[in-house]
Amino acid sequence: MTDITERAQVLLKTLVERHIRDGQPVGSKTLLEEAGLPVSAATIRNVMSDLEDKGYLHSPHTSAGRVPTAMGYRLFVDTLLQMRPLDEDAISRMRAELNPDKSSTELVQSASSLLSSVTAQAGLVTVPRQEANQLRQVEFLPLSGDRVLVILVINEREVQNRIIHTRRIFSETELRQAAEMVNQRFAGRPLERVQEQIVKEMQEARSQIDSYLQAALDLANQALEQESEGEDCMVVGKSRLVGNATAEEMQQLRGLFDAFERKKDLLHLLERCSRAEGVQIFIGEEAGYKVVGNYSVITAPYSDGDRTLGVLGVIGPTRMAYERVIPIVDVTARMLSSALSS
């Protein structure tokens, strides 16, 4: 239930939709033309004044019309919004991008790019935490000099290749035996636990002067160090926020871009979202961070069928097209979850 009349709801809905389209304050004359209500301009001015008193609207400049507040957007999203179903072209494109044959890393990258391009906002996806990744197999192949090719098989099918520089030159036989030892000890365990155990066993091997074990563990540690240095969160399409911004919004973007670089606040917000079910919508400072003040964040968790792996979503100005963006975030999360669990 709301504390405003049905007429006021119609006018608020019309005002929000108009402001989302052009980013400008909306005056009573425009509302009179677009709302389709059999009322006078004076009545509309009175209703708008009442909505402003109740905190749903505010006037950025004297007699220049009104714009929605975060509270006004919240009422619009929760009560007045009519979702727009995704068209078949958009769904087909999303299916193609989130192909189950891709690795989990490729799927996460595709999801962030897809969200940005389809919504014209910045797309963001948290990378699955290491405890969600299990080591299946490791293989070491000699290259020239001190270079070794590491082949990591993670979870059921993801294969990662990387080159490491070793502290001494290993023969092919030594590398094969080292891989056998690592697989025997650590295959099937979460990557995070594997790294912890490797560091512990390296210390024990040093005390026992076990050079063979020490060498094998050192190789494994180097191989997994790069895994732990990966990004926690991917943000794609920041330039889209610039392209869609009004002059006033441009001034606020610098703080938001700083937050993207630091990522601490962003990751904390997304971590909160990972513990919730379904689509979460934060409008302005509802997110709990001042830097997000004039932006909205729409997120949904994704999983592999058994457990939540991360969160994806978009961030854009509060005047975004919620009726379209919310279903896109929801469907993308479902499709990514389906691809990761197949």
Rg of the chain over all Cα atoms, to the nearest angstrom? 26
Residues 72 and 58 in one domain: yes
pLDDT of residue 281: 92
User: What are the residue ranges in the chain where pLDDT is below 50?
Assistant: 209, 229
pLDDT of residue 299: 92
Residues 137 and 120 in one domain: no
pLDDT of residue 49: 93
The answer to whether residue 183 sits within a structural domain is yes
CB burial string 250-270: b at 16+ within 10 A, e below? eebbeebbebbeebebbeebb
Q: What is the pLDDT of residues 198-244, one digit of tens each?
A: 777 766 665 554 566 677 777 777 767 655 545 577 888 888 887 76
**One-letter amino acid of 199:** V
Residues 6+ apart with CB under 8 A from 99: 339
Residues 118 and 178 in one domain: no
Residues 145 and 95 in one domain: no
Compute the distance between CA of residue 9 and CA of residue 35 in angstroms, rounded to an integer: 11
Residues 98 and 239 in one domain: yes
**One-letter amino acid of 43:** T
Residues 74 and 94 in one domain: no
Q: What is the pLDDT of residues 30-62, one digit of tens each?
A: 998 898 888 888 999 999 999 999 999 998 876
Among 169, 202, 228, which residue terminates a domain? 228
Compute the distance between CA of residue 341 and CA of residue 269 in angstroms, rounded to an integer: 25
The answer to whether residue 1 sits within a structural domain is no
State the DSSP string of 130-146. GGG-BEEEEEEEE-STT
Residue 96's Cβ-count burial label (10 Å; 0-12, 13-18, 19+) is exposed
Residues 147 and 117 in one domain: no
pLDDT of residue 134: 79
Residues 47 and 173 in one domain: no
Domain total for the chain? 3
Among 177, 206, 228, which residue terminates a domain? 228
State the DSSP string of 201-234. HHHHHHHHT-HHHHHHHHHHHHHHHHHHTS-SEE
The answer to whether residue 28 sits within a structural domain is yes
pLDDT of residue 209: 45
Return the structure tokens found at 120.
């014209």
The answer to whether residue 191 sits within a structural domain is yes
**One-letter amino acid of 191:** L
The answer to whether residue 189 sits within a structural domain is yes
Q: Read off the pTM.
A: 0.72
Question: Which residue range is the domain that position 196 belongs to?
Answer: 131-228
pLDDT of residue 101: 86
pLDDT of residue 53: 94
On whether the CB atoms of residues 309 and 129 are closer than 8 A, the answer is: yes
The CB-based long-range contact list for 279-283 (8 Å cut-off, 24+ gap) reads: 279/326, 279/329, 279/330, 279/333, 280/313, 281/77, 281/322, 281/326, 283/70, 283/73, 283/74, 283/77, 283/318
Among 43, 64, 80, which residue terminates a domain? 80
Residues 6+ apart with CB under 8 A from 225: 195
Compute the distance between CA of residue 29 and CA of residue 120 in angstroms, rounded to an integer: 30
Residue 154 neighbours by CB distance under 10 Å: 22
Residues 106 and 245 in one domain: yes
The answer to whether residue 240 sits within a structural domain is yes
pLDDT of residue 205: 60
pLDDT of residue 290: 66
The answer to whether residue 195 sits within a structural domain is yes
Residues 192 and 325 in one domain: no
Residues 238 and 115 in one domain: yes
Residues 123 and 28 in one domain: no
